[in-house]
Structure 1
């Protein structure tokens, strides 16, 4: 079940985000620094809409949808809505939760009458990146490396 974030979800979202990224620890040059950024996921509620996935009353995934014109990193066109920090609890993977969360971001972009939606990801994310490509996202440019890990910007045309 998908629903909008509530302030009391913050601790559970951080737990899921840290668990989701844990498998990538060896790729980042400063893992403790990276985890401090991951733990700030609830702050995305200030500029975007966080969507949570629940299973049996437990939060098992989350994503932030940052709408057109909302503040976002400079490597994105300011007019683009953006998918940020898609995370799924490792114990809940393989159930389509990541796809459902991404599809909800697409619905919100269409609600906002956006022509495209963007995200940034990295080849080390061997489940997420192929899913985005299957969903119609295409690589459009580079994004800055994050602690030694290469990232790129992907866009999907809507409508």
Structure 2
């Protein structure tokens, strides 16, 4: 496996990875909520915008296919969930065929390393009740629940933060 910075040339592979990875949650969602999530994941513009505002790390397999991705958005990009002085993780995603190999953990660790180099003070993320493996990884790396946030796609979501020393 090879980890590298993602680029605009990766947008189509990122889109396909998002669709393949999140499909595993289709049965956890109502048809309407799945369609909303699918529509979001299926837009190349969403990945292109993330590449513009964040540091993207991808993981490639032996033949160069992208099997994992994560985006670290730097402070100064507030949302309705994330404060202006926080950096935050988006779409930490691993293809289901490569689940259990530690890729999600390594992607998250690499984003934390970048946040430290960039002198960020806080890394935040949000995740849901259906993301058991992801929550375990985040908590084992020191992220703690700050609060429950508004449900998304009909599921409970929590806001996690990690203080960067």
TM-score (norm 2): 0.90
Distance between the aligned counterparts of 2:137 and 2:41, measured in 1? 21
Q: Which has the higher helix share?
A: 2
Q: Equivalent of 2:69, from 52, 62, 66?
A: 62
Match of 1:12 in 2: 13
Distance between the aligned counterparts of 1:91 and 1:11, measured in 2? 19
RMSD of Structure 2 on Structure 1 (CA): 1.3
Structure 1 residue 143 and structure 2 residue 122: aligned? no
Q: Equivalent of 1:36, from 35, 39, 48?
A: 39
Q: Shift in Å at residue 14 of structure 1?
A: 1.0
Match of 1:95 in 2: 101
For residue 156 of structure 2, give the secondary structure of its aligned residue in structure 1.
Answer: strand
Q: Shift in Å at residue 72 of structure 1?
A: 3.8
Flag structure 1 segments of 5+ consecutive residues without an equivalent.
none
Flag structure 2 segments of 5+ consecutive residues without an equivalent.
none
For residue 155 of structure 1, give the secondary structure of its aligned residue in structure 2.
Answer: strand
Q: Is the 8 A contact 1:64 1:84 kept in 2?
A: yes
Q: For residues 6-25 of structure 1, what are the alpha-carbon distances to aligned partners after superposition, in whole Å with 9 as ceiling and x for unaligned?
A: 21211111111111111111
Q: How many residues align?
A: 158
Distance between the aligned counterparts of 1:7 and 1:76, measured in 2? 25
Q: Shift in Å at residue 153 of structure 1?
A: 0.4
Distance between the aligned counterparts of 2:8 and 2:81, measured in 1? 29
Distance between the aligned counterparts of 1:89 and 1:111, measured in 2? 28
Q: For residues 19-65 of structure 1, what are the alpha-carbon distances to aligned partners after superposition, in whole Å with 9 as ceiling and x for unaligned?
A: 11111112333212211112333431122121111111111100111
Q: Is the 8 A contact 2:128 2:156 kept in 1?
A: yes
Q: Shift in Å at residue 110 of structure 1?
A: 0.6
Distance between the aligned counterparts of 2:48 and 2:98, measured in 1? 20
Match of 1:125 in 2: 131
Distance between the aligned counterparts of 2:119 and 2:12, measured in 1? 32
Q: Is the 8 A contact 2:7 2:51 kept in 1?
A: no
